């Protein structure tokens, strides 16, 4: 396993539509391992392959408590409700914004064994999944943010924003 370099800013992989994975080869499994290791190294809660410069439809997500999910060709098949919440991104360092997202999503994907999985997610996990799947379309959270903020300048008394970059 290896920690990969995270690409940032105007790297073209961040603005490309990622290609579906046709075969879950050893290389794909290895890549998913590297993505998970890289996500943990940088204390993210999610990582999409374009963030390490690879335009394939692969994401890893861990909302905490060691609930690692490695998802191949993930697709949102249902969205419901609306929530606004803070987001950051390892590929857009130092910037945070309030981003509207669906409250609940249903995602279908393949797991590393090639088995179809269906994830029903709400709240924070739903937000992470939407953020990561956006990466596969070349969309960044800064495209959707309704306002930007400096986490150090939030007014006292407010809940501290979740600052885990994804
Ligand atoms: Zn991101």
Distance of CA 103 to the CA centre of its chain: 16
Distance 159 CA to ligand 1 centre (A): 22
Kindly report the pTM of this predicted structure. 0.91
| Residues involved in catalysis | 132
* Residue 162 Cα to chain centre, angstroms: 14
Q: Please, where are the H alpha helices in 42-156? A: 123-135, 141-144
State in Å: Cα 61 to ligand 1 middle: 11
Q: Cα(157) to centroid of ligand 1, in Å?
A: 28
Rounded CA-CA distance 149/146 in Å is 10
Beta bridge partners of 119: 107
Q: Which domains does the chain have, with CATH numbers?
A: 12-153 (3.90.45.10)
Span 118-139, average pLDDT: 97
What per-residue confidence (pLDDT) applies to 1?
76
Q: Give the per-residue pLDDT at 150.
A: 81
* Total length of the chain: 166
What confidence score (pLDDT) does residue 152 get? Answer: 75
pLDDT per residue as tens digits for the range 16-41: 999 999 999 999 999 999 999 999 99
């Amino acid at each position: 396993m290896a920690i990969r370099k995270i690409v940032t800013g105007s790297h073209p992989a961040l603005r490309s539509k990622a290609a579906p994975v046709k075969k879950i080869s050893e290389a794909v499994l290895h890549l998913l391992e590297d993505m998970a290791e890289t996500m943990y190294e940088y204390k993210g809660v999610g990582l999409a392959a374009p963030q390490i410069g690879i335009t394939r439809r692969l994401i890893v997500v861990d909302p905490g408590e060691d609930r690692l999910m490695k998802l191949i060709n993930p697709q949102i098949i249902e969205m419901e409700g609306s929530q606004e919440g803070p987001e950051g991104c390892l590929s857009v360092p130092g910037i945070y914004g309030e981003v509207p997202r669906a409250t609940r999503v249903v995602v279908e994907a393949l797991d590393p064994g090639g088995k179809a999985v269906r994830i029903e997610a709400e709240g924070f996990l739903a937000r992470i999944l939407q953020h990561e799947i956006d990466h596969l379309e070349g969309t960044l959270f800064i495209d959707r943010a309704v306002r930007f903020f400096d986490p150090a300048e939030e007014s006292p008394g407010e809940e501290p924003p979740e600052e885990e970059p994804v």
